[in-house]
């Protein structure tokens, strides 16, 4: 999150089941990359291979033990990317609109709280837009696949607002815009997902999750150091608030996986991964192969 220019930061999840972390050095200067030496096989390819229970074989759940499904598409990520580009194109011709939607501490003090959310769609310049869009494009589909579109959208929005709230409450960055607080929230939510489900994931072949968590922490620390460097205009408190908001959301509403016996239409119960978050958002998980893929492995009781 920046007052004039921005820097983005996000891990890159690939279909070849690798997780890389990149720290973008600056909007106009050379980029410095921080990448993990050992790739962690922790993406949709690993999880998709873990369950033989077809979606059509699962009966409707009562909501307490819902089979966990990976979402194949990422419509919210695409919509956010399009919204970032569209809003940037509009405010280039209407500077008054930019000032009316940006996070302004003075305006927030007068009760214009909509700025806590609207500023997440604005960017100071083309470089700011490119870095944040590249970061969202890298991490967004991975998080949306594991959280689902509803939770992903809520995570993104809550993180962006939390980042602006912390920055405003501490009197930092009197005028700022950018989606980096929300992107840091995706990092925080993803880190909580890996930490809270580490045993389940490692039992199914995922490796180096601990190293990935360390890499996430190191990358965030590097970004914070850049924000404290002389001449930097990064809003570290906006980033920190977004990360903390994302972590809190991940702990309360993020996927919590465990094995459970679920009824099968074909007959007896089968053992599969179910998602039981501490707080479930309204709405049902996608059912059927068109929108999601169940994750786990099939077992039947004798």
Listed range (36-50, 58-72, 112-126, 235-249) with the worst mean pLDDT: 36-50
pLDDT at 301 over 80: no
- Confidence at residue 193, expressed as pLDDT on a 0 to 100 scale: 95
pTM: 0.74
Whether 61 and 270 have beta carbons less than 8 Å apart is answered as: no
Q: Among residues 3, 167, 180, 212, which one is catalytic?
A: 180
pLDDT tens-place string over residues 167-226: 999 987 899 999 999 999 999 999 999 999 999 888 878 778 888 788 778 877 777 777
Between CA 199 and CA 273 the distance in angstroms is 13
Whether the predicted pLDDT of 117 surpasses 90:
yes
% of the chain surpassing 90 pLDDT? 43
User: Would residue 123 show up in a list of annotated catalytic residues for this protein?
Assistant: no
Q: What percent of the chain has pLDDT over 70?
A: 68
Q: What is the pLDDT of residue 18?
A: 32
Per-residue confidence (pLDDT) for residue 208, from 0 to 100: 80
239 is catalytic: yes
Average pLDDT value over all residues in the chain: 75
Q: With cut-offs at 50, 70 and 90, classify the pLDDT of residue 8.
A: very low
HEC per residue, the chain: CECCCCCCEEEEECCCCCEEEEECCCCCCCCCCCCCCCCCCCCHHHHHCCCCCCHHHECCCCCCCEECEEECCCHHHHHHHHHHHHHHHHHHHCHHHHHHHCEEHHHHHCCCCCHHHHHHHCCCCHHHHHHHHHHHHHHHHHHHHHHCHHHHHHHHHHHHHHHHHHHHHCCCCCEEECCHHHHHHHHHHHHHHHHHCHHHHHHCCCCCHHHHHHHHHHHHHHHHHHHHCCCCCECHHHHHHHHHHHHHHHHHHCCCEEEEEEEECCEEEEEEEEECCCCCCCCCCCCCCCCEEECCCCCECC
Phi-psi region of 87 (alpha: psi -120 to 50; beta: other; left: phi over 0): alpha
Give the C-alpha separation, 187 to 142, whole Å.
Answer: 11
Residue-wise pLDDT for 46-81, tens only, equals 343 333 333 333 334 344 556 788 899 999 999 999
């Amino acid at each position: 999150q920046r007052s004039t220019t921005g820097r983005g930061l996000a891990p890159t999840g690939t279909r070849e089941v690798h997780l890389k972390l990149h720290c973008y050095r600056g909007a106009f200067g050379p980029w410095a990359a921080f990448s993990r030496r050992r790739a962690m096989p922790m993406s949709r390819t690993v999880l998709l291979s873990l369950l033989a229970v077809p979606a059509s074989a699962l009966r409707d759940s009562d909501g307490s033990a819902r089979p966990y499904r990976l979402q194949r598409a990422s419509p919210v990520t695409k919509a956010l990317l399009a919204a970032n580009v569209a809003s940037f194109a509009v405010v280039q011709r209407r500077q008054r609109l930019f000032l009316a939607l940006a996070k302004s501490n003075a305006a927030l003090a007068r009760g214009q709280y909509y700025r806590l959310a609207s500023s997440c769609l604005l960017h100071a310049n083309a470089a700011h837009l490119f870095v944040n869009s590249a970061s969202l494009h890298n991490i967004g589909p991975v998080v949306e696949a594991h959280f689902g579109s509803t939770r992903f959208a809520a995570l993104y929005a809550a993180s962006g607002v939390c980042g602006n709230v912390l920055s405003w409450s501490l009197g930092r960055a009197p005028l700022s815009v950018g989606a980096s607080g929300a992107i840091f929230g995706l990092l925080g939510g993803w880190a909580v997902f890996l930490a809270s489900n580490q045993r389940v994931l490692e039992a199914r072949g995922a490796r180096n999750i601990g190293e990935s968590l360390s890499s996430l922490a190191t990358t965030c620390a590097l970004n914070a150091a850049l924000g404290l460097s002389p001449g930097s205009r990064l809003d570290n408190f906006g980033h920190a608030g977004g990360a903390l908001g994302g972590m809190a959301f991940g702990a309360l509403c993020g996927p919590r996986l465990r094995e459970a016996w679920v009824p099968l239409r074909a007959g007896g119960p089968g053992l599969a991964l179910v998602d039981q978050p501490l707080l479930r958002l309204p709405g049902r998980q996608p059912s059927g192969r068109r929108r999601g893929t169940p994750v786990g492995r099939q077992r039947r009781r004798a």
